[in-house]
Amino acid sequence: MSRIPKKTILFVDDEPNILSGLKRMFRPMRKTMRFRFAQSVPEALEVMAEEQIDVVVSDMRMPGMDGTALLTTVKKQYPHAIRIILTGQADDTTIMRTIGVVHQLLTKPTDPDVFKQVIRRASALQDLMVDEGLKQLVSEVGTLPSLPETYADLQRLLRDPDSSLADVAKIIEQDLAMSAKILQLVNSAFFGLYTHINSPTRAVNLLGLDTIKALVLGVGVFSEIKGGPSKIFSISTLWSHSMATASYARKIAGEASKDQEMIDHCFIAGLLHDVGKLLLFSRLPKEYEQAVVMAGETGCTLDEAELRIFGTGHGEVGGYLIGLWGLPGPVVEAITFHHRIDTYPELSLCPALIVHVADYIYSRLKPDNCIGQPPELNRQALERTTMLDHIEDWIDLCRTIEEQEGDDDG
């Protein structure tokens, strides 16, 4: 039986004392990972030229080429590597430069247990994507594209001096790509807000209107889908499916548990569970349309068609991206496993299982919106967690949500 090669982590800092502290901190993890240390950007690039580095952790402020410049180079030359930056203090302009370049930002001093957890998760993510081409493709993604009309509405609103934060939040929360990016920013401590946020609206409120304007109009943190609409794959249907699944997942979680953190994770995971579809379609549109056609013509599920075309499904692709962006582990796991819940380790009542159920219920309530064969409910998994008897009640619960929204629209 072949052993999985150890992942290699490179730390870059111009202060010898910092590197010495990192060596001591991560010494207990040497059995499962390899660690390299560089005291300058040229030294770091030499190390990367000589061996494969899986995760790069760089200090922000260094003489000559700083951490952002280093990780910009790494993104171009070694796109498979996960990029993390450390900063003690940085002005907004410096931080803005990092947003499209780094996957996560950690503040100094970082709690050792949190730091180790970030490194473990980053290392584990490298095994989630087997295909190196897709791994590089996902790792290069700084933003996801929005519908052109939504993007235009947001820009117009932000240029209006009378616009409110509530108006801006309403647009962002209705857009999958914008929601994902805003959640990345607040969960990765870009603005010193390192905390788990339960909704895109809350994230917008924390960032504030001035910061949102700088991000959108200055840095261009959002983008729009290029080209005309696809005749084969509907982005607007993907949007509505994501929002509905998020609402279903939150409602089911609230009925099944009083754990508010888990309920919040279920909503975010439901909102982002199909982000891999958006990524694949926006980056590889012809191939993704082939998968859509295959699912429709052969009667397989879209996930099965993706596996035949890409060698992996949208769950793994989306989970890899959202994991790179530093969102909570239960959210990443739910995105990754919602179509293969039978392989989820130590299955219990968790966001992965609840999003699996919410996704299935959507196909029951709105079968016309399914591409190919609708996803099946894993009854064995639900039976093991004693949740199977609740399924019909949950379907009625979600049907009530749809009826209420229909009344509101009317």
Q: What is the pLDDT of residue 189?
A: 54
Name the residue range of residue 40's domain: 7-128
Structure tokens at 127: 């095994």
Confidence of residue 355 (pLDDT cuts 50, 70, 90): very high
Please indicate whether residue 94 or residue 321 has the higher confidence score (pLDDT): 321
Looking at 77, 94, 128, the residue that finishes a domain is 128
What's the CATH number where 255 sits?
Answer: 1.10.3210.10
If you compute the radius of gyration of the chain from its CA atoms, what whole number of angstroms results?
21
Across 246-271, average pLDDT:
92
Mean pLDDT calculated for residue range 12-16? 93
Residue 352 lies in a domain: yes
Residue 194, phi-psi category: left (phi > 0), alpha (psi -120 to 50), beta (remainder):
beta
- Integer distance in angstroms from the first to the last C-alpha of the chain? 62
Q: What CATH number corresponds to the domain at position 11?
A: 3.40.50.2300
Residues 175 and 207 in one domain: yes
| 384, part of any domain | yes
Q: List, for residues 305-347, the tens digit of each pLDDT value.
A: 999 999 999 999 999 898 888 788 889 899 999 999 988 877 7
Please check whether residue 119 is in contact with residue 55, taking contact to mean a CB–CB distance below 8 angstroms: yes
Of 174, 190, 224, which residue sits at a domain end?
A: 224
Same domain, 289 and 318: yes
Among residues 128, 162, 184, the one where a domain terminates is 128
For the chain, how are helix, strand and coil distributed in percent, rounded to 5? 60, 10, 30
Give me the number of domains the chain comprises.
3
217 and 257 in a single domain? The answer is no
C-alpha span between 206 and 40 (Å, rounded): 35
| 291 lies in the same domain as 402 | yes
Is there a single domain that holds both residue 100 and residue 166? no
Is residue 83 packed enough to be buried (19+ CB in 10 Å), middle (13-18) or exposed (0-12)?
buried
**Does residue 137 lie in a domain region?**
no
If asked whether residues 24 and 65 sit together in one domain, one would say: yes
Amino acid at residue number 208: G
Phi, psi of 41 (to 5 degrees): -65, -45
Residue 206 lies in a domain: yes
Beta strands 33-38; 82-87: pairing state: unpaired
State how far the Cα of 220 lies from the Cα of 96, in Å rounded to an integer: 10
| Model confidence at 202: pLDDT above 70 | yes
**Closest Cα partner for 65 from 91, 45, 84?**
45
| Confidence bin at 225 (pLDDT 50/70/90) | confident
Percent of the chain exceeding pLDDT 90 equals 43
Interaxial angle between packed helices 235-256 and 275-283, expressed in degrees from 0 to 180 and rounded to the nearest 10: 160
**pLDDT tier, 182 (very low <50, low <70, confident <90, very high otherwise):** confident
Q: Are residues 379 and 339 in the same domain?
A: yes
82 within a domain of the structure (yes/no): yes
Query: Distance between CA 9 and CA 33 in Å, rounded?
Result: 7
Does 347 map to a domain? yes
216 and 355 in a single domain? The answer is no
Q: Are 404 and 263 in the same domain? A: yes
pLDDT > 60? residue 84: yes
**DSSP H helices in 51-160:** 67-77, 92-98, 112-128, 132-139, 148-159
Answer for the pair 236, 147: CB distance below 8 angstroms, yes or no. yes
Q: Judge contact between 178 and 200, C-beta under 8 A.
A: yes
Give a yes or no: residue 2 inside a domain: no
* pLDDT number for residue 410: 45
Are 193 and 252 contained in the same domain? no
CB proximity list for 43: less than 8 A, separation 6 or greater? 12
pLDDT at 195: 55
Contacts with 242 (C-beta within 8 Å, 6 or more apart), sequence order: 176, 270, 271, 272, 273, 274
Tens-place pLDDT, residues 140-164: 887 788 888 888 899 889 888 888 8
CB 317 within 8 A of CB 134: yes
Rounded CA separation 352/384 (Å): 14
**Nearest CA-CA partner of 358 in 274, 242, 249:** 249
pLDDT of residue 13: 93
Question: Are residue 278 and residue 375 in the same domain, yes or no?
Answer: yes
Total residues found in the chain within this entry: 410
pLDDT tens sequence across 107-147: 777 888 888 888 888 887 777 777 788 888 888 887 788 88
Q: CA-CA distance, 305 to 293, in Å (whole number)? A: 9
Q: What tens digit of pLDDT does each residue of 368-410 get?
A: 999 999 999 999 989 888 888 999 999 999 999 888 765 554 4
Any domain includes 140: no
Give me the sheet containing 82-87, strands edge to edge.
Answer: 33-38, 7-12, 55-59, 82-87, 104-107
Residues 359, 280, single domain; the answer is yes
Banded model confidence at residue 219, pLDDT cuts 50, 70, 90: low
